[in-house]
Structures are given as C-alpha cells and as structure tokens.
Chains A and B, each alone.
Chain A
C-alpha cells in the first residue's frame, strides 16, 4: 500500500502543464533544451536554403537566378544564421539538456533566466530575418560587418545591430547559467576533474563567451554611433580607423570559432570512449588541451588580417601563435586515436559521425595551418581556399559533432531508439556530399577564385558545378535527418536507461543512470558519484 502511494506521488510529481503554455512558460532545463534544439534545426534549414541559393547561382558562370546585391545578402545572412542561429543554439540546447544530468543537478541554476535567454534569441532572429523584407534588403557586407561597407546597408542596419545585441545578450545569459550551474550545483562528490568532458568543454566555452561578447557588443555599438550620431571611431575623415573595427571584430570572431568547436570536442570525446568501450585516454590532458586552445584563441586574431598590413614582427607573432594551436589540438587528436586503440569498437551512427569528424576536422585544421603562414596567406586570402577551410572546420567539424550528439542522446531524450538503417544512410550521404561540396573549393581557391562573388571566370566552371551538386546532395540528406528525429519522437523500440553498451569496468556517466526518456525532474535525490 505504502509502495503504491509512493508510486502515485511519483507519477503526480511528473505532472506538467500541457499544450502551448508548457513551451511558453517552462523553466525546465529539458524543455528549454528541446526548444533550443528545434530552433537551431529550423535555422539550419533556413541557413541551408540560403546556401543553396548561393550554390545554385554559382552552378555555372554568369548571372542566373539572383542579382549581385541579393547574392551578397545571402552570403551575409547564411553566415549569421548558421553561426548564431544554428550552431551556437544547438550547442546551448545540448548544454541545457545534458549538463544538469551529467553533473547530477536537478536543473540549471537560474531557470527563469534560461527561459528568458531562449526567447531573446528567438526574437533576435525574427528581427534579423525580417531585414530581408526591409527597403534596401538585409545586411550584405559579410558576417564580419566591416565598415565603411556595412554603413551602406539600408533600413536593415539598425535592426541588424539590435539583433546582434540581443543574440549577444542571450549568449551571455546562457553562458552565465552554465558557469553558475557547473560551479555551484554539482552533486556531492562530483569534483571538477570527475566531470564528463562535454561539461568541461562547455565550462571553457562559457568563459570564452563571457570574455569576448562585450567586445562584439562594443564594436557594433560604435558602428551604430558612427552611422547615426556622427562619431568617428572608424571614420578616417574624423580621425578614426576602419582597420580598428577589423581588430575588434576578429578579437571576438576568432574565439567565436572555438566557441562553436569546443563543445564539439567534448561531444566527440564522450562518443569515442563509449563506442570504444574504454575510458578516454589522457582525461586531464584533454581538459588542459581545451583550456590551452581557449587561451590561445585570444592571441591569434590578426591572422585574419595579414593582408591588411602589419609590421613584420606582428606577422611573425600571429603566424607562430596560430601554429601553436596545433599542439593542444594534436594532443586531442592523439588522445582520441589512442582511445580507439585496442578498443572494442562498434560503428553505430554517433560513432560514425565522430570518426568522420576526426578525419575531416583534421583536414580543416591542416588547411588552417597553411593559412597561418603569413606569406602563404597573401596568396590564399579571400579566395575559396579560405571558404573550404572554415567550412571543413564548421560543417564536418561542429555540425557533424552536433549530429553525432543528437544520435547519441536522442534515445535518452525520446525514450525510443531511432531507425539505425536510415541513420546510417544519412551518415554516408552527408559524408560523401560534404566532401563533394567543399573539397573542390580548395582547388578553386588555389586557382585564384575569389570568395563572395556571384559570377566567375569560365576556368572555374567544372569544380563549381561539382561543388553545387554536393551542396544539393548534402541539403537533401538533411531532410532525412529531420525525418529520423520526428520518427523517433513519435515512437519506436523502447530505449533502456543505459541505451548503449557500457562495460562494467568503465561506469557510464550519470545521464545513463536515469530512465529513458529522462524523467521531467531528473535527480530528485542527489546521485552517488563514484
């Protein structure tokens, strides 16, 4: 009888408001995590459509579908949507879902602020996307917003600056929440060096965000005052310097790249150890490597500006400091490989994406090393080689890691196993087409094709055609991804608490100790950390 009463209390406790009000007013970390993930998937599709407009136009030389002005709007908006709307919110969604579960906390430290930061982001993107319909169109100066070009934007200019401010505020609140949750709400016994690497990578990412976001906010505010209040921060006529904006932007922009990739490192570490059935090789070295990469990201920004002109000592410094990043990154790649060594490896979809990440992110890393060499960069700068480089880092790097994370934790979120066969097809289609899409862009860049142009010389035709075919193939593959997620959310084979096979001598993380789907309130009692 007593037992029944207890069970009834449990069931009652899981009760939650239904319908739209649940999603508008929820402060539960899982609901907010889901909202972030759905939002980022929607933005991924919208940003992807913009990429397809770009690749359709570049399918052959000449102007086919859009005018050059709209083409520039597409390149700018594609970048802003993908960086701030797709990749960052996806990692924030994963953080919301997984960090409290991984550290044994009942929820995020500041649940109301958590909800506020999500809706702020949503509103920011509605504003940003609305600029496409304003007189003069959306911003078209590139995601770097360099003056004086960006000051020629039409009515969209103040709206875009406001949207960037809101996105920044949302990111800062999200980071503060992660930091306070990890620092103050870990379960008894969960010391920092027992934390899963995903939580570690997010703690360091949150530090980075907090350090650089005021710089971006200050930078875009100065653009605004130069435009509307006659200040001259970046206007040479009034004693300002437009190159200063480039320094400001890249002081934010380079760490921003790591803000997107560090959580990916954490995700891949979790997956590689689970599917190798071995604890990660060199756990502490992995933590220190992430921290070193984060630190180095602050002192390399001017490698984006070699062609702007700087003293030889500056070129030497930024070349060498950029190359230094290869050391901690090499430590990570070595440790992932060493974890695989003699592991009982199995190739479920999360592992397939993690292995692809390992190979393809490394290609992006190597082309980054080439770009770090100042005299070589003079040749590569603003060519398609740069486009190929950063897309290798961000698509088979960050995006593949996010897909791996979804396939890894989806059964924990929905309580259902997804269709493995379709997920394998999705993996192979994505991996083949992402290489068809981006690898030829290395050749185009080395042959001298500039980036951000709607038309090009005929000698670039063949590889552009191949690249565009890859783009449409990759885009179509992602519809399969959406279908797999929806199918798993609706039903499927029941997932166990552990979901994946965890060997007895290598205990699973705390998130695998709770039932699947994870209960609405995860840890009603503080878990035991061994």
Chain B
C-alpha cells in the first residue's frame, strides 16, 4: 500500500510511506496460533494419556510449521519504506529485519526508473543518481509500483529537473 502525506513546509516536503497489506496484526496472529495450539495439543494430550505418545511429536511438528508459516507471512509487515522528497533531496529510509538504512539523493540530479518485469521476475523501481541507485517499492504489487513510478516522475522530474513541489499533482 502507498500512503502519501504532504509536509507542513517546503523544507519537510512530501513523504510517501510504502507498507505491505497484512490483514492480521502480530497480536491477532499470536492469539490465533495459541488457540490452534490449545486444540492440537489437547487432542495429542488425550491420546498420550492413553499411552499413544507418538501422536505428540507429530502435533508438535505441525504446530512448529504453522508457527513458522504465520511468522514468515507476518514478517512482511516489518518491511516498510519511507520516501521523503524535499526541495533539495530525496531521502529513502528502508526498514526490514536487518534494521533501518537511509539513502539520500540530490533531487535535481535524481530520477525514478522502472525496470520492466521479465519472466518470473516482477518489475523493479529504482531511484538513481551519480551512479548510485536504490530499489524502492519491492513489496508493492505491479499496479501500485507503476502508480508510484508515475507519481515520482511528477515529483522528482528527470535528471537536471526540479519541478516545484507544490505544483506536483497531489502534493
């Protein structure tokens, strides 16, 4: 999902927040997982109490896989990106499991480029300037990524262009 907020002044500029769509919060996921564990281990316990202990390791293994699956799916929540466009610079803050990283580009000399999808690989959107580049919107859907590319072209312009921020549609 792409969330956009315009800053109070030109110095603060325009902030675009990129967040993945998750319909489950970590707290809900934990509650959901716990409820499934209670049912599964209650059933396994019932059989263990009658001496049929081999049911238990299978229940444990299954719950471990379910827990991992929920974790893997929820891990997407942690991956967000904030793109802040001011008169002078474009700042990209990427947050993921490895922490937060910030990259900055001079707005006047930067451009947003969309590398088209090829085969199994989705399209890639990059901001680049002076031989450096930074991928953005990797967590978005194709349509959202194309929309973001179009928006950034309006806001950043091409190389050697700095359209007025307040003139950019939606700013």
Contact = CB atoms under 8 A, between A and B. Distances in A.
A185 B62 contact: no
A9 B21 contact: no
A248 B52 CA distance: 9
A36 to B, nearest CB: 19
A13 B18 CA distance: 21
Contacts of A172: 62, 65
Given A13-B123, A110-B72, A218-B57, 18 more contacts: A9-B146, A12-B117, A15-B119, A16-B120, A110-B73, A184-B29, A185-B22, A186-B23, A188-B21, A190-B23, A210-B62, A213-B62, A215-B47, A218-B47, A219-B55, A222-B54, A526-B1, A526-B21
B101 interface: no
A14 B51 CA distance: 55
Given A183-B24, A184-B22, A190-B23, A233 B66 contact: no
Contacts of A217: 55, 58
A9 B123 contact: yes
Given A6-B146, A215-B47, A180 B69 contact: yes
Interface residues of A, number: 47
18 contacts: A6-B146, A15-B117, A109-B69, A109-B72, A176-B65, A183-B23, A184-B24, A190-B23, A210-B36, A211-B43, A214-B40, A215-B47, A217-B55, A218-B52, A218-B54, A218-B55, A524-B141, A526-B141
B22 to A, nearest CB: 6
Contacts, number: 127
A161 to B, nearest CB: 12
Contacts of A9: 114, 116-117, 123, 146
Interface in B16-73: 21-24, 29, 32, 36, 39-40, 43-44, 47, 50-52, 54-59, 61-62, 65-66, 69-70, 72-73
Contacts of A187: 21
Nearest to B28: A183
Nearest to B32: A183
Contacts of B61: 214
Contacts of B39: 211
B21 A214 contact: no
A294 to B, nearest CB: 11
Interface string A94-123: 000000000000100110010000000000
Given A13-B117, A526-B1, A233 B69 contact: no
Interface in A195-245: 207, 210-215, 217-219, 221-222, 225, 233, 244
A521 B22 contact: no
Given A183-B32, A210-B66, A215-B43, A221 B54 contact: yes
Interface in A22-57: none
Nearest to A113: B69
Contacts of B141: 106, 523-526
Contact of A218 (B58, B69, B70, B147): B58
Contacts of A184: 22-24, 29, 70, 73-74
Nearest to B149: A9
B87 interface: no
Q: Nearest 6 CB-CB pairs, A to B?
A: A218-B55, A525-B143, A214-B58, A524-B143, A214-B59, A217-B58
B66 A179 contact: yes
A17 interface: yes
A200 B124 CA distance: 35
A215 B48 CA distance: 11
B54 A225 contact: yes
A291 interface: no
A425 to B, nearest CB: 41
Contact of B55 (A110, A113, A214): A214
Interface string A349-368: 00000000000000000000
A13 to B, nearest CB: 4
Interface string A340-351: 000000000000
Contacts of A177: 69
Interface in B56-103: 56-59, 61-62, 65-66, 69-70, 72-74
B144 interface: yes
B118 interface: yes
A173 interface: yes
A214 B143 contact: no
A44 to B, nearest CB: 28
A6 B143 CA distance: 10
Nearest to B114: A9
A13 B142 contact: yes
Interface in B134-162: 141-144, 146-147
B126 to A, nearest CB: 16
- Among A12, A106, A184, A185, find the residue whose CB has the most chain B CB atoms closer than 10 A: A184
A106 B141 CA distance: 8
Interface in A136-188: 172-173, 176-177, 179-180, 183-188
Interface string A43-81: 000000000000000000000000000000000000000
A61 B21 CA distance: 64
Contacts of B23: 183-186, 188, 190
B27 to A, nearest CB: 13
A523 B141 CA distance: 8
A298 to B, nearest CB: 8
A237 B80 CA distance: 63
A15 B123 CA distance: 12
Nearest to A231: B54
Contacts of A113: 69
A526 B22 CA distance: 11
A233 B21 contact: no
B89 to A, nearest CB: 28
Contacts of A109: 69, 72-73
> B23, B74, B116 — which one has the most chain A CB atoms within 10 A of its CB?
B23
A12 B59 contact: no
B110 to A, nearest CB: 21
Given A172-B62, A184-B73, A185-B23, A525 B40 contact: no
A173 B65 CA distance: 8
Given A109-B73, A526-B1, A233 B123 contact: no
